[in-house]
Amino acid sequence: MDFDLSKPQKLLQQSARDFFVRACPPEKVREMMASGAAFDDALWREMADQGWTGLIIPEEFGGLGLTLVDLIAVVEEMGRASLPGPFISTLWAAALIDRAGSEGQRKQYLDPISMGDLKATVALLEESADWDPDAVQLRADRDGREFRISGRKDFVNDAAVADLIIVVARSGEDLVLLPVDRNTPGISIIETPAIDATRKLYSIEFDNVSLPESSALAYNTRVREALDASTETAMIALCAEMLGGMEWTLATTVEYAKTRQQFDKPIGTYQAVQHQCADMFLMIESARSAIYFAAWALSENDPGARLAVSVAKAYCSDAAREVGNRGVQVHGGIGFTWEHNLQLYYKRAKASEIMFGDANYHRDVIARKVIDETE
């Protein structure tokens, strides 16, 4: 038994850490968040050169064919750097295409995603802001051999930079998955400014957008299955990203507590401050246990994987916020400023807490499994 990253995984993680320290320092993050779409094409290309855009994509579609555990080792470092841009969105879309698409569709989309030539996102949520696919109302009505889409999607990450948008819509009673080119006539992408400027949110309006029937990835129950599975993949990656962010916050806070002097001593000498830091550490290591296990369980198709993912997301959602709270508190006034980089991580933590359902949402999933399904 070995409940840890393997040696090669640790090497991979170290190389990712070194990469982002160089390629994505905080100044770069601020520069990107001030730009329109919080995206830098050169950085994305460099990440693609490392193979990370296709890290878990099968080799036959140009990816590295590695496991989810390998993936989270890298994504943790993206979180430590607070990397802006559509990595999680593209990962989610790729996992969805991989699950739902035909051989031809997988080839069509996954190859360029692996190469870094295609960025993607998933448009699931609507005005109801419900993560349950059953809540999807957007119409994609059939008109001969075409679908016609009219209506709106909300809370879509990275839509302004995604070349491809996978739209979850309803055709008759059925759910349907439709990959749509961002530049298709009739599509408007509207930024909805939100708490995390490093990963922007958009509404997408569809005005009688027509798509060939053959473009659909999947219908009905297959949509549901593919959405569930791909969301689990994206969610555990998001959790790993949150973990990296928490680690940055703790390291920065401990460093500050060692150097900031009050009453002629470093404030880290005082137990009131020490215990805040110890709690942050406890939350981080707890999160790590939950995330590593869920990633392993998913990669092994363990029957407990779904529950493990909800455990991880419920825990990380609360922990990432709370680690941020403690970090700001220990920093005092400087931690509350725009100038200090804590704010970048603090805001990312809140947005990530909400993404794919917060702790309440996932505790509800857990309750169904441990109370209702054990009866």
Partner 1 sequence: MDLNLNPDELKFRDELRAWLQANVPAPFTGKGGEEEKGEHFDYLRAWQKKVYEGGWAGLSWPKEYGGRGARLIEQAIFTEEWARAEAPQLINVLGLSLIGPTIISAGTPEQKERFLPKILSAEEIWCQGFSEPNAGSDVASLGTKATLDGDHFIVNGQKIWTSMAHVADWCLLLVRTDPNVPKHKGITALLVDMHSTGVTVRPLRQMTGDASFNEVFFDNVRVPVSNVLGEVNKGWSTAITTLMNERAHLGTGIYVQFKRNLDQLVERSRQIRRGGRPVSEDPVLRQKIAQAYMELEIFRLTNTRALSKMHNQSVPGPEGSILKLQWSEYNQRFQQIAMEVLGPVAQLHGFDNGQWVFNYLRTRGNTIEAGTSEIQRNIVAERVLGLPKSY
Identify whether the C-beta of residue 310 lies closer than 8 Å to the C-beta of residue 293.
Answer: no
Residue 48 vs 366, nearer CB to partner 1: 366
- Closest to partner 1 by CB, 198 vs 299, is 299
Identity of the residue, 208 or 259, whose beta carbon is nearer to partner 1 in the bound complex: 259
Beta bridge partners of 153: 204
Q: Give the separation between CA 91 and CA 300, rounded to whole angstroms.
A: 19
Smallest gap from residue 305 Cβ to partner 1 (A): 12
Cβ proximity to partner 1, 301 vs 374, nearer residue: 374
Minimum CB distance to partner 1, residue 367 (Å): 4
Q: Which is nearer to partner 1, 142 or 265 (CB)?
A: 265
Distance between CA 51 and CA 64 in Å, rounded?
7
For the bound state, the minimum distance from the C-beta of residue 334 to partner 1, rounded and expressed in Å, comes to 18
Asked whether the beta carbons of 371 and 363 are under 8 A apart, the reply is: no
C-beta separation of 95 from 177 below 8 A: no
Name the minimum Å distance from CB 352 to partner 1: 18
Least distance (Å) between residue 324 CB and partner 1? 17
Compare residues 69 and 216 and give the one whose CB is closer to partner 1.
69
Which residues of the chain form contacts with partner 1 (CB under 8 A)? 1-6, 9, 69, 250, 254, 257-258, 265-266, 268-271, 273-275, 277-279, 281-282, 285-286, 288-290, 292-293, 296, 308, 311, 314-315, 360, 363-364, 366-367, 370-372, 374-375
Nearer to partner 1 among residue 45 and residue 258 (C-beta): 258
Q: From residue 289, give the alpha-carbon distance in Å to each of 71, 200, 283.
A: 16, 29, 10
Min separation Cβ 310 and partner 1, Å: 8
Measure the CA–CA gap between 111 and 286, rounded to whole angstroms.
36
334, HSE (Cβ side, Cα atoms, 13 Å)? 9
Least gap, CB of 182 to partner 1 (angstroms): 37
| DSSP structure class, residue 251 | H
Smallest distance, Å, CB 328 to partner 1?
18
- 243 with 287: CB under 8 angstroms? yes
What are the CA-CA distances from residue 249 to residues 133, 172, 344, 359 (Å)? Answer: 34, 48, 10, 20
Q: Are 189 and 183 in contact (CB under 8 A)?
A: no
CA distances from 200 to 32, 73, 342 (A): 11, 24, 18
3-state SS, residue 19:
helix
Q: Is the Cβ of residue 44 or residue 296 nearer to partner 1 in the bound state? A: 296
CA dist., res. 168 & res. 80, Å (int): 31
